């Protein structure tokens, strides 16, 4: 029996929105449990505008030394706090695919493939920020400042923001730039690469051996490999992804020193130049690539299994 191929404009995910959301949340929670250290290390590098080794030393001083100066290896557990970050990751990855996919399927007929995806991702990313912006801010602010109270975190931020919304969604503009840039690039690469996998001769000739090799795997395994590759391309080819994340982290960590997006951008550039916008890239790159592979890989695999049960296959 010949398998019916998706049209070339489709995103390579089953149209099972609630199932994708549930499985995405599971993937996000797994990502948090496995990779939160890299997330914290990225925040540290961005907060201090330092490189890899200096960030590691700062993490060690902050978390693995007692007030008396004794070595405390169990202090590293603190990087998994606050638990708002777990909620953030679960909601973020639960929303990312199903919301963008649903909007895209409704828009691509009128707007076309690329414009439809652009608009769908712009809107879905705005919804991501609306839902996860407060938990993202709390995670950064409380982790880096060693704050244990959610109320205290809000009160400290509110002192330097003109209203409730600006305090709760502090750093939201940078978060939107980060998420939108990565989401759009990831979905575009994921679609193109799945089309090349499904259609021999679709890819450039020099890439065809790679896709021929992928065709020797089970579909679920080749899909995971393509998720990893699309995440690599989306992460390392989008400067605004890194820049937006740096702006977001600085504003969330220190609302007094970084009151607006414009001021934060100017401050980073004046003090550190263009390289300042790329601080934390090594940690963030590993975290995003590995995290997307884990979160979306679980989402794809579990949803594919559940779709077989519901279809009776």
Q: Is the pLDDT of residue 87 over 60?
A: yes
Average pLDDT, the chain: 92
The domain covering 17-307 belongs, at the CATH homologous superfamily level, to Mitochondrial carrier domain (1.50.40.10)
* Domain range annotation of the chain: 17-307
The residues, ordered by sequence, that sit 6+ positions from 106 with a Cβ below 8 Å of its Cβ are none
pLDDT score of 1: 40
Q: Which residue has the higher pLDDT, 282 or 251?
A: 251
Q: Which residue has the higher pLDDT, 308 or 202?
A: 202
Q: Is the pLDDT of residue 251 over 90?
A: yes
DSSP readout, 45-112?
Answer: HHHHT--HHHHHHHHHHHHSB-TTS-B-GGGGGGGG--THHHHHHHHHHHHHHHHHHHHHHHHHHHH-
- What is the C-alpha to C-alpha distance for residues 227 and 77, in angstroms, rounded to an integer? 29
Work out the percent of the chain whose per-residue pLDDT is above 90: 82
Residues 103-114 pLDDT 10s: 999 999 999 999
pLDDT score of 103: 97
Look at 57-71, 187-201, 224-238, 299-313 and tell me which has the smallest mean pLDDT. Answer: 299-313
Work out the percent of the chain whose per-residue pLDDT is above 70: 97
pLDDT score of 310: 58
Half-sphere exposure for 263 (CA within 13 Å, toward CB): 10
pLDDT score of 85: 96
**In angstroms, what CA-CA distances link 309 with 6, 13, 223, 254, 312?**
21, 16, 20, 49, 5
Residues 15-40 pLDDT 10s: 889 999 999 999 999 999 999 999 99
Residues 287-298 pLDDT 10s: 989 999 989 988
Residues 138-191 pLDDT 10s: 999 999 999 999 999 999 999 999 999 999 999 999 999 999 999 999 999 999
Is the distance from CB of 298 to CB of 30 less than 8 angstroms?
yes
pLDDT score of 236: 86
| Mean pLDDT computed over 231-241 | 90
């Amino acid at each position: 029996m010949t398998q019916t191929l998706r049209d070339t404009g489709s995103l390579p995910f089953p149209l099972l929105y609630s199932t994708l959301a549930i499985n995405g949340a599971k993937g996000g929670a797994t990502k948090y449990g496995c990779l939160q250290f890299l997330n914290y290390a990225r925040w540290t590098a961005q907060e201090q505008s330092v490189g890899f080794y200096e960030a590691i030393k700062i993490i060690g001083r902050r978390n693995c030394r007692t007030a008396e100066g004794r070595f405390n290896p169990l202090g590293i557990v603190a990087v998994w706090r606050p638990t708002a970050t777990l909620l953030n990751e679960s909601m973020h990855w639960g929303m990312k695919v199903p919301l963008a996919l649903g909007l895209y399927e409704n828009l691509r007929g009128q707007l076309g493939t690329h414009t439809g995806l652009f608009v769908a991702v712009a809107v879905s990313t705005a919804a991501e920020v609306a839902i996860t912006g407060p938990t993202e801010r709390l995670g950064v602010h409380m982790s880096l400042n060693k704050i244990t109270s959610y109320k205290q975190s809000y009160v400290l931020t509110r002192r330097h923001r003109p209203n409730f919304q600006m305090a709760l969604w502090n750093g939201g503009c940078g978060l939107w730039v980060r998420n939108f840039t990565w989401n759009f690039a990831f979905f575009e690469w994921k679609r193109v690469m799945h089309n090349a996998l499904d259609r021999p001769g679709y890819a450039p000739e020099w890439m065809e051996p790679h896709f021929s090799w992928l065709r020797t795997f089970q579909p679920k395994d080749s899909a995971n490999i393509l998720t990893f590759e699309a995440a690599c391309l989306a992460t390392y080819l989008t400067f605004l992804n890194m820049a937006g994340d740096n702006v977001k982290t600085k504003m969330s960590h220190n609302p007094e020193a970084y009151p607006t997006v414009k001021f934060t951008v100017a401050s980073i550039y004046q003090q550190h130049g263009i390289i300042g916008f790329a601080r934390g890239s090594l940690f963030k790159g590993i975290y995003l690539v590995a995290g997307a592979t884990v979160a979306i890989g679980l989402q794809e695999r579990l949803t594919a299994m559940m779709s077989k049960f519901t279809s009776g296959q």
